[in-house]
Structure 1
């Protein structure tokens, strides 16, 4: 394998590693967004279902 082919392979490997890192970061951000949305949905559900009881407790 000549030098130029080796340089190309190394460059492609670096691009692949960067793409994998970006994909993992995007996956983490999507997971965080989903968790926040789920938390808000649960909070609204609790307020809607038990709102009158919570008002009586206070």
Structure 2
């Protein structure tokens, strides 16, 4: 009986560890996605800013 309990506990611990790992992986993926989105947004902003400045420059000519 005790062995069974120990085995069950071990299995539960393993499952928990796996779940935690999966969650961590998901979190990492989410973080990566967020970072990519932020980078894209920054790039868009930079491009838009550059375009704006160029238009202003041409208008001033």
RMSD: 1.8
> Which residue number corresponds to residue 29 of structure 2?
29
Counterpart position of 1:20? 20
Consecutive unaligned residues in structure 2, runs of 5 or more:
none
1:19 is paired with a residue whose SS is helix
Structure 1 residue runs of 5 or longer lacking an equivalent are: none
Which residue is equivalent to 1:2? 2
Runs of 4+ in 1 over 4 A off after TM superposition: none
Number of residue pairs the alignment of both structures matches: 54
State the structure with more CA Rg.
2
What TM-score do the two structures reach when normalised by structure 1?
A: 0.83
CA distance in 2, matches of 1:12, 1:40: 41
TM-score scaled by structure 2? 0.79
